[in-house]
Each structure stands twice: as structure tokens, then as C-alpha cells.
Homo-oligomer: A and B are copies of this chain.
């Protein structure tokens, strides 16, 4: 950052809910030292709110499934996951199978992508 007089913070909005977007825009627009980004403008930060109706809350994943999912997102193989969690490879595959089912994915790559999309995991 090079300026020091009025380092205005530029915020962009990524809100699915139009009503919420409107309220936030009104609230944030009147805050001194902060303004909303113009379309296409590079912002310092984004306000993100995906449609909650798309995510019926966190999908019911067990702790073990979350463990496996996190390691999957790191690119770990089933063998590596098994060693990491001190369980058998077969068990890992069972959990992966459950994840594919619950996340409606066709493979581990798809599962990680889906999970990341709906915020179950953070990449």
C-alpha cells in the first residue's frame, strides 16, 4: 500500500439473496472509510453469502468422514489416509464410498470439488 491519507476499503458483494444483498449494500454504503466496488473493480475484500437454500445446513458427515475428506482434499491416497488415521485401507474406502454417496459425487476428485463448493471443507 502506498497511500496513507484515505485508504478507503473497497468491498465487493457476492450475495445470492437479493434482499440480503440490498440490506448489506445500504448498511455498508453509509460506512465512512469503506465503499462498495464498482462492477469489475478489484476489491480489498468480498462479502460472500451463498444461497442458504442450496445448502440445507452442513451435510450430515460423521467425524471420521470429515477426517477422510480433509485428507482427500490434500491429495492423500487411501493408503496414506489409512496410515494417518490408524485404520485399514478397506475402512478408508468404506468412508470414501459414503462420502461419494452423501456428496453425490462420481469419484474422490468430484467429492472434494462438491465439498469445497458447499463449504464443507476449505481448500
Give per-residue flags for A70-93: 1 if the beta carbon is below 8 A from chain B beta carbons, else 0: 001111010000000000000000
Q: Which of B9, B11, B110 lies in contact with A74, CB distance below 8 A?
A: B110
Q: How many copies does the complex hold?
A: 2
- Flag whether A34 is at the interface (Cβ < 8 A): yes
Considering the complex, which residues of chain A in the window 1-55 have a beta carbon less than 8 Å from any beta carbon of chain B? 9, 11, 15, 20, 23-24, 27-28, 31-34, 44-49
Distance A9 CA – B55 CA, assembled complex (angstroms): 18
- Whether, in the assembled complex, A117 has its beta carbon less than 8 Å from a beta carbon of chain B, the answer is yes
A47:B45 contact, CB within 8 angstroms: yes
- The answer to whether B44 and A34 have CB atoms under 8 Å apart is no
B123 touching A113, Cβ below 8 Å: yes
> How many angstroms from the CA of A107 to the CA of B108 in the assembled complex?
11
Judge if A112 is at the interface, Cβ distance under 8 Å: yes
30 A–B contacts from the bound complex (CB under 8 Å): A9-B23, A9-B24, A9-B27, A20-B45, A27-B31, A27-B32, A27-B33, A27-B34, A28-B31, A31-B31, A45-B47, A45-B48, A45-B49, A46-B47, A46-B48, A47-B47, A48-B48, A72-B109, A73-B109, A74-B110, A74-B113, A75-B106, A75-B110, A109-B109, A109-B112, A112-B113, A113-B116, A113-B123, A116-B116, A123-B123
